[in-house]
Amino acid sequence: MTLSEPEATEFPVRLPGESFPPLQYADFREQPGLIRSTLPTGSPVWLVSRYEDVRTVLTDRRISSDPAREGFPNVARTGGVPTRDQIPGWFVGIDPPEHDRFRKALIPEFSVRRIRQWRPLIQETVDRCVDHLLSLGDSADLVSEFALPVPSLVISTMLGVPFVDREFFESRTKTLVNLKTTTEDERGVAVQELLRYIGRLIKVKQRRAGDDLISRLLESAVLSPEELTGVVMLLLIAGHETTANNIALGVVTLLSNPQWIGDDRAVDELLRYHSVADLVALRVAVEDVEIGGQVVRAGEGIIPLIAGANHDLNSFDRPDEFDPGRAARHHVAFGYGVHQCLGQNLVRAEMEIVYQTLFRRVPTLAVDADVTALPFKYDGTLFGLHELPVRW
């Protein structure tokens, strides 16, 4: 399928190393219609950069999330988005009405009420991670020593991973996101090891249920054990680097805006401002559909740019300024529509607890580098930091 429109914009659209906000997106929003780009695979794709257009894409039932469909934009660095044949239960790639079954089974586990019950455990985990950080002396890399372990340890507790296996679990999930020091083969092995481990864990919980997410999902009997394995894997992957990137970028932004430290209103503004999951919501048109004045043909790939929408002047005043005093809750950092992030209440709780605890317990925390020269990463899916040198 070829797109018969203007010159293609290079991909990825935000340059590796570029800090925030994404400068090019302001130009995209000014242009009529949509932006045409070509993926590293050579396939054409439409980029959507205006807030209203992004929400339209994410709610139009003629647009699919199924990576098995022809034309689906494969932006991933390794292997692409798994299809349901590869990992049953990978429901972010399943369209309604079948998607509803997964969503209904999981929503009670991530409700505001349920996450409130997990808060003491999140606090305990964050405290342990701060203990670890402080044990390293007076400086460290905040990404590898704190931001990555926090979400991994929290979700493994929620899933009911036994304490003795946490280290295995954390090291394998870290391998998956550590693109700088691991090879594609090593990441493939880590995925297989995790899938095998989750399969075994499910069998253990089938014999002896605990007070955890896997046991409750088994009890509800809505999902098969194979589907549940894929669901657990999705929860691990979807919530790891995304949350870690937000934690690290948030520390940088809050240290530059210290008047907002300790104010929980900063959390949603940080999510909007950084928009780490910029290229996460991938779609393909199933029928011809008009978006922002552009006809997208059936079979053409579409990428709603999350950071584009969240920095749209028509939806946020002074969008490139960090201002937690604004009403930011309508941001699309978690997507929009039926696939909107399942983990958002968990993320908010983690970020609130992380910032309150970290800045209270390490009041002299400072970035140990020139902020403009930090190693920002943008490798085609998520925006974040490779490393964040800090001292205290």
Closest CB to ligand HEM among 148 and 346?
A: 346
β-partners of residue 18 are none
Residue nearest ligand HEM (C-beta atom): 343
Instruction: Choose among 130, 142, 147, 135: nearest CA to 362.
Output: 130
Instruction: Choose among 379, 369, 354: nearest CA to 141.
Output: 369
Q: Which two tokens stand for residue 9?
A: 């914009």
Closest CB to ligand HEM among 99 and 297?
A: 99
Half-sphere exposure of 114 (CA within 13 A, CB side): 17
- Nearest distance from C-beta of residue 3 to ligand HEM, angstroms: 21
β-partners of residue 366 are 391
Instruction: Choose among 27, 57, 22: nearest CA to 273.
Output: 22
- Nearest distance from C-beta of residue 350 to ligand HEM, angstroms: 7
- Nearest distance from C-beta of residue 298 to ligand HEM, angstroms: 19
- Nearest distance from C-beta of residue 141 to ligand HEM, angstroms: 20
Half-sphere exposure of 211 (CA within 13 A, CB side): 4
- Nearest distance from C-beta of residue 244 to ligand HEM, angstroms: 9
Contact footprint for ligand HEM (CB under 6 A) = 65, 91-92, 103, 151, 155, 234-235, 238-239, 242-243, 246, 276-277, 280-281, 306, 333-335, 339, 341-343, 346-347
Q: Please tell me the distance from the alpha carbon of residue 248 to that of residue 229, in angstroms, as a whole number.
A: 29
Q: Please tell me the distance from the alpha carbon of residue 258 to that of residue 309, in angstroms, as a whole number.
A: 26
Closest CB to ligand HEM among 178 and 392?
A: 178
- Nearest distance from C-beta of residue 55 to ligand HEM, angstroms: 11
Closest CB to ligand HEM among 103 and 391?
A: 103
Residue 324 CB neighbours (<10 A): 20
- Judge contact between 106 and 349, C-beta under 8 A: no
Closest CB to ligand HEM among 240 and 386?
A: 240
Virtual torsion, Cα 385, 387, 391, 392, nearest 10 deg: 60
Q: Name the 3-class secondary structure at 294.
A: strand
Closest CB to ligand HEM among 246 and 294?
A: 246
- Nearest distance from C-beta of residue 270 to ligand HEM, angstroms: 9
Closest CB to ligand HEM among 117 and 372?
A: 117
Closest CB to ligand HEM among 81 and 130?
A: 81
Determine what percent of the chain falls in helix, strand and coil, rounding each to the nearest 5.
50, 10, 40
- Nearest distance from C-beta of residue 36 to ligand HEM, angstroms: 21
Q: Please tell me the distance from the alpha carbon of residue 139 to that of residue 366, in angstroms, as a whole number.
A: 9
